[in-house]
Structure 1
Amino acid sequence: MRAAIYRGPGDIAVEDVSKPEIESPTDAVVRVTHTAVCGSDLWFYRGESDREEGSPVGHEPMGIVEEVGEDVRSVDPGDRVFAPFKISCGRCEFCRKGLHTSCVNGDSWGGDNGGAQGEFVRTTEADGTLVRVPDRYADDEATLEAVLPLTDVMGTGHHAAVSAGVGEGDTCVVVGDGAVGLCGVLAARRLGAERIVAMGHHEDRLELAESFGATETVAARGEEAVERARELTYGGPRHVLECVGASSSMDAAIDLCRPGGTVGYVGVPHGVDEAGLDVFSMFQENVTLRGGVAPVRAYAEELLADVLQGTLDPSPVFTKTVDLDGVPEGYRAMDEREAIKVLVKVDH
């Protein structure tokens, strides 16, 4: 089969590799039809995080089940499925508590199971990981493109909103205008927020945020952005969604949060250790920090139900579409901010 392979910073190659096969009774092999390039992929692409050269990449698969192990009960060959960015068993202590990202039997997509930016993947825990799309939608392209963000960015944005405690009638601020931040806007609206302020640096993305439900936007930078967000929320919101992960965005989220409020953070941390976290100001203002890596499998069914009934559509975050050979171009486009998120359609 063919798959995208990391060859070093700035270098993604599409190569012939071994097709994954059933190795355990709990395995399933999925023929990938749709996948994506994620903003978190850019960290290793830019050389800002470690990754083994020669490893397959991608963690947002959707496709058709090709083969299942003898113990698999939830899906059959021929089923349309999607999978979160983290493989999970669904039966351990942490999965039962909705914390699938801490699964004791968990796995990633980047090892010998194929990588999700390729023609096939193997999930080591099919029953706990794969989410079946009803047959009536299995070939509905518009619906499938709306479902695909549930593999990562929509579930992650939702986790930010849930962690921040967003509810009916609330005011919140979303820090970040990438795909996760934009999905955070959708999630806050879905949870009933009355006012949603989106903060970012790109006018086109902030316009998309408005179409997703943001009532105001802030395009300023630094302290000016924090002050503007405070003005719009009459001294700061009680609910802040941090959807970037940089030290500057984390500082901004904490700074503008109203005393007694909560910051829901889901951005993959980079540079926070070096810059330090202002714990003392959080202590003084009783600001709560909640979140972490999003257990998107825990949210999959409820978000899927909304997509299928037409009340949730995160597909506009895909602003560029490529085929498998175009994956290297997809990375370049996202790295240079020419695309918010890249959709990959895999032909067989």
Structure 2
Amino acid sequence: MRAAIYRGPGEITVEEVPKPEVESPTDAVVRITHTAVCGSDLWFYRGQSDREEGSRVGHEPMGIVEAVGEDVRSVEPGDRVFAPFVVSCGHCEFCRKGLHTSCVNGDSWGGDNGGGQGEYVRVPTADGTLVRVPDRHADDEDTLEALLPLTDVMGTGHHAAVSAGVGEGDTCIVVGDGAVGLCGVLAARRLGAERIVAMGHHEDRLELAREFGATETISARGEEAIERAIETTYGGATHVMECVGAASAMETAIEVCRPGGTVGYVGVPHGVNEDGLDLFGMFGDNITLSGGVAPVRAYAEDLMADVLQGTLDPSPIFTKTVDLDGVPEGYRAMDERDAIKVLVKP
């Protein structure tokens, strides 16, 4: 089979690798039909986080079950499925609490199980990981493209909204106009927010935020952006969603949070440890910080129900589509901000 491989900063190749096979009774092998390039992939692509050279990449798989181990009960060959960005067993202490990203039997997609940007993956603990798409929707391309973001960015944006405590009639601020931030706008609208202020730096993305339900957008930078957000919300928002991960974004989120409010953070942290956070400011204003890596498996069925009934469609975040050979170009496009998120159809 062929799969995308990390060969060092700025270098993704597509190479022949061994096809994964069922190795244990709880495994499934899935033929990938849809996957994506994630904004978090850009950290190692840019050399800003460690990754082993020669490792397979990608963590947002959707496809058709090809084979299952003898203990697998929830899916069978021929089923259309998608999987969150981490593998989870579904029955340990943390999975039962809905914290699948802390699964004691968890795994990633970057090892010998195939990597998400390839032709096949092996799914350990298939019953706890895979989400089956109902047969009547299994071949509807528009529906499948709307479901694919549930593997990561839609579930992550939803986690930001949930962590920030967004509810009916609320005012919230979304920091970040990438795929996660845009999905955060969708999530806030879905949860009933009355005012959604989207903050970012790209007019085309902020226009999509408006289409997704943002009532106001702010494209300024630095202190000007903070001042405008505070002015727009008459003193800041009680619910703030940090969807970037950079230290500057976290600082912005804290600054625009109203005293007694909550910052729901889901951006993969970069630069925060080095630069530090103003904990005194949070302490003085009784600001709660809630969130972390999103347990998207916990949200998958609820979000899928909305996609299938036509009330949720995050697919416009895909602004470029490539085949497997085009994955290196997909990374380049996202790195240079030529695409919000790249859809891959192997």
TM bucket (normalised to shorter chain) is over 0.9
Q: Deviations over 1:261-281 (max 9, x none)?
A: 000000000000000011111
- 1:190 maps to which residue? 190
Equivalent residue for 2:266? 266
Aligned twin of 1:82: 82
Q: What secondary structure sits across from 1:289 in the alignment?
A: strand
Report SS of the residue matched to 2:259: coil
What residue ranges of structure 1 are gaps of 5+ in the alignment? none
| Partner residue in 2 for 1:27 | 27
Q: What does residue range 179-328 of structure 1 map to in structure 2 within 5 Å?
A: 179-328=179-328
Residue of structure 2 in register with 1:175 after alignment: 175
SS in 1 for 2:208: helix
Query: What is the deviation of 1:79?
Result: 0.1
Give distance in 2, aligned partners of 1:247 and 1:53.
27
Q: Which residue of 1 aligns with 2:44?
A: 44
User: Residues 213-240 of structure 1, C-alpha deviation per residue, up to 9 Å, x if partnerless?
Assistant: 0000000000110110001100000000
**In the aligned structure 2, how far is the partner of 1:327 from the partner of 1:256?**
37
Aligned to 2:60: 60
Please state whether the residue corresponding to 2:338 is helix, strand or coil: coil
Give distance in 1, aligned partners of 2:24 and 2:277. Answer: 43
- For residues 34-84 of structure 1, give each alpha carbon's deviation from its aligned partner in whole angstroms, at most 9, with x where no partner exists: 000000000000000000000000000000000000100000000000000
- For 2:139, give the aligned amino acid: D
Amino acid at match of 1:301: E
Count of matched residue pairs: 346
- Determine whether 1:162 maps to 2:146: no
Distance 2:25 2:223 in 1: 55
Q: So what's the TM-score if we normalise by structure 2? A: 1.00
Aligned twin of 1:134: 134
Cα deviations across residues 288-310 of structure 1 (Å, max 9, x unaligned)? 00000000000000000000000
Instruction: Specify the SS of the correspondent of 2:64.
Output: strand
The C-alpha deviation readout for 1:168-193, integer Å capped at 9, x for no partner, is 00000000000000000000000000
Offset, 1:340? 0.1
Q: Alignment RMSD, CA only?
A: 0.3
**Cα distance in structure 2, aligned partners of 1:338 and 1:89:** 37
Distance 1:277 1:288 in 2: 13
Runs of 5+ unmatched residues, structure 2: none
- Separation in 2, partners of 1:334, 1:154: 18
Deviation beyond 3 Å, 4+ runs, structure 1: none
> Which amino acid in the other structure matches residue 39 of structure 2?
G
* Amino acid across the alignment from 1:270: H
The CA distance in 2 between the partners of 1:334 and 1:155, in whole Å, is 20
How far apart, CA to CA, are the structure 2 residues paired with 1:12 and 1:41? Answer: 11
